[in-house]
Amino acid sequence: MAVIDKKTIEHVALLARLELSEEEKELFVSQLGDILTYIEKLKELDTSKVEPMAYATATTNVFREDVPTPSLKLEEVLKNAPAKFQDFFKVPKVIE
């Protein structure tokens, strides 16, 4: 079983660029240790007759028929634009 110790927590915090207090480190040692213990317990289950699945419930894709329809007229599209230039929406410059 993998053991989580304070050194491991400090290493992961360093990789993630996290600053942890001593209390947080001790808390994470305890919590992650509990999680790993639970995972080890789950590994004891016989799952040989369980079919792998991606979702807990059955899912199906529901597609509508793709029917081409006429688009809006340009004047109607630009009618509510706060600012426009010729046939385009005018937006603030975002690149300098």
Q: Residue 53 region, left (φ>0) first, then alpha (ψ -120 to 50), else beta? A: beta
Which domains are assigned to the chain? 6-43 (1.10.20)
- What is the tens place of the pLDDT at every residue in 39-60? 999 999 998 998 888 888 888 8
Instruction: For residue 10, count other CB atoms closer than 10 A to its CB.
Output: 14
- What is the tens place of the pLDDT at every residue in 22-39? 999 999 999 999 999 999
Query: pTM of the prediction?
Result: 0.50
